[in-house]
Amino acid sequence: MPDPTELQRRLSNSLRKNVLQALLIMTAVSGVGFAILNIRLNSWPLALAELGMTIYSLFLLKRLRGVESLQRVAILFLIPFFSVMMFALWVPGTSVTIFGWVLVIPLISHLLLGRRTGLAMSLFYMTAASVLFWLRYQQAPELTDPRSLANVTVIAFCVLALSHIYELSRERSEAHLADTARTDFLTGLNNRLGFTEAFERERKRAQRGGSNLALLVMDLDHFKRVNDRYGHDCGDAVLVHVAQLMAERLRDTDDMARLGGEEFGVLLANTDKLQALKVAQALCDAVASQPVHTNGQAIAVTLSAGVATLGADGDDLASLYAAADERLYQAKDAGRNRVQADSRPLSA
Ligand SMILES: Nc1nc2c(ncn2[C@@H]2O[C@H](COP(=O)(O)OP(=O)(O)OP(=O)(O)O)[C@@H](O)[C@H]2O)c(=O)[nH]1
């Protein structure tokens, strides 16, 4: 699976924040309840540990709102939470039913930490719990006969496996959702959101490696006439055809998107202004020379383009887009089916 994008991270974070919030409240409340029970049973160390967890949960709950890295807070909560649980399993005199808590380890770990860290955390603490169980009850034949052990092991394994499978499919659906959100439904290219993410990735790479990055903004000429004359469906076919033609001529390292309507954006990695001008010209020539054949008609279209480069025209997408868009409209003014790489001075 590819690295999660910002969008996926935001989706996961909102789910995890809700789960962590609920867990912190439950821990704070049940910590007080169990502490009272344990004080009455004179089990002071455990009562103090539970009260400590209550105070810690309330502290984290208060700070949760402004938190940037939810994963870090979840780990900071889960390690003491599971460690107190292990302590309770170890304290002599507690009932065997306390081992029932072990079943929440895989559920909570996967929900809060995702499938990889969740699995690692689950395996660690479930193994620790198994060792404690064996140390405490190896002399109790009713708990360690093969059937009882098989029951406990299979139940624990089922909860672990189901938690892991749930998290895996949740991550996949999230990735699919994020993919849909950044894809243009008509052409299958990135849309504006996908393009923005691609720009951020390429900008960081270019700035780290000191390489060039160019942006082309390209727009079909008189596209309204195509729609008016041949109909909207033919207009759609033209958009798909142009997208395919352009994608075929670009390198794998270039990113292309439909920014909206009949406007396309192209990011050219390791490309300076002169090279970008040539690429844009080649794309315009390819589109102009290959009409779209649809519904038995050949529809000829042309493109105009504006070029901008990282550094010379700014360091963020908004600045580069503004520069390229201005040049695009100068290319349109100058007669269309052409590329403009420099801004013309405004005439007085
Ligand atoms: N078929 C189709 N048409 C679209 C789509 N999105 C936008 N359009 C049309 O694209 C046309 C754009 O028209 P204009 O903005 O006037 O631009 P133009 O006719 O290309 O003129 P210039 O850009 O000045 O060369 C409009 O008719 C929109 O309805 C789409 O997804 N499919």
Domain boundary among 157, 181, 205: 181
* Count of structural domains within the chain: 2
Same domain? 68 vs 87: yes
The answer to whether residue 304 is domain-embedded is yes
Q: For the chain, what's the residue count?
A: 348
Instruction: Evaluate if residue 2 carries a pLDDT over 60.
Output: no
What does the pLDDT look like over 57-85, one tens digit per residue? 999 999 988 887 889 999 999 999 999 99
Two structure tokens written together for 272 = 């300076």
pLDDT computed for residue 68 by the predictor: 77
Identify the pLDDT of residue 69.
80
Output the CA 26–ligand 1 centroid distance in Å.
Answer: 56
CB 284 within 8 A of CB 338: yes
- Residue holding tokens 């006439």? 225
- pLDDT at residue 67, rounded to an integer: 82
Please report where in the chains the tokens 């620790």 appear, as a residue: 128
Distances (CA, A) of 250 to 47, 126, 242, 338: 66, 52, 13, 18
Pocket-testing residue among 218, 223, 284, ligand 1, by greatest number of atoms within 8 A of Cβ: 223
The mean per-residue pLDDT over the stretch 28-39 comes to 96
User: CA-CA distance, 276 to 98, in Å (whole number)?
Assistant: 67
Nearest ligand 1 atom to the CA of 232 is 1
> Atom 15, ligand 1: which residue's CA is nearest?
224
Mean residue pLDDT of the chain comes to 93
Cα 19 to chain centroid, rounded: 18
Q: Which of 12-16, 64-68, 144-148, 213-217 has the highest mean pLDDT?
A: 213-217
Domain end point (choices 151, 181, 211): 181
pLDDT band at 94 (very low <50, low <70, confident <90, very high): confident
Question: Is the same domain home to 206 and 246?
Answer: yes
- In this prediction, residues 227-246 reach a mean pLDDT of 96
Residue 15 has pLDDT above 90, yes or no: no
What average pLDDT score do residues 312-323 get?
97
pLDDT for residue 296: 86
Tell me, in angstroms, the distance from the centre of ligand 1 to residue 299's CA: 15
Residue 345: band (very low, low, confident or very high) from pLDDT cuts 50, 70, 90: low
- 1 pLDDT higher than 50: no
Q: Which of 58-67, 127-136, 194-203, 220-229 has the lowest mean pLDDT?
A: 58-67
Q: How far is the CA of 262 from the centre of ligand 1 (A)?
A: 6
Same domain? For 45 and 176 the reply is yes
Same domain? 264 vs 217: yes
The confidence score (pLDDT) of residue 272 equals 96
Q: What is the mean pLDDT of residues 146-175?
A: 95
Question: Poorest-confidence range of 7-11, 251-255, 320-324?
Answer: 7-11
Same-domain check for residues 274 and 318: yes
First to last CA, the chain: 56
pLDDT at residue 4, as a whole number: 55
> How far away, in angstroms, is 224 Cα from ligand 1 center?
5
Q: Which residue has the tokens 């089916």?
A: 337
| 162 and 211 assigned to the same domain | no
Instruction: Tell whether 15 and 155 lie within a shared domain.
Output: yes
Q: What is the extent of the structural domain holding 205?
A: 192-340
**Structural domain contains residue 187:** no
Q: Flag whether 1 is in a domain.
A: no
In-domain check, residue 134: yes
Q: Does residue 135 register a pLDDT over 80?
A: yes
Residues 208 and 160 in one domain: no
The CATH number linked to 205 is: 3.30.70.270
Residue 303 lies in a domain: yes
**What SS3 state is found at 43?**
coil
pLDDT digits (tens, 9 = 90+) for 249-306: 999 999 999 999 999 999 999 999 999 999 999 999 999 999 999 888 899 999 999 9
Does pLDDT of 342 surpass 80?
Answer: yes
In a domain, 347, yes or no: no
Question: Which of 224, 229, 241, 333 is the pocket-test mutation for ligand 1 (most atoms within 8 Å of CB)?
Answer: 224
Assess if residue 345 is contained within a domain.
no
Check whether residue 98 and residue 162 sit in a common domain: yes
User: Which ligand 1 atom sits closest to the C-alpha of 223?
Assistant: 20
18 and 166 inside one domain:
yes
**Do residues 172 and 238 share a domain?**
no
Which residues does a 6 A CB cutoff place in the pocket of ligand 1? 186, 219-224, 227, 232, 235-236, 239, 261-262, 332
Residue 20 lies in a domain: yes
pLDDT score of 348? 40
Which of 152, 181, 210 lies at the terminal end of a domain, its last residue?
A: 181
My answer on whether 153 and 226 are in the same domain is no
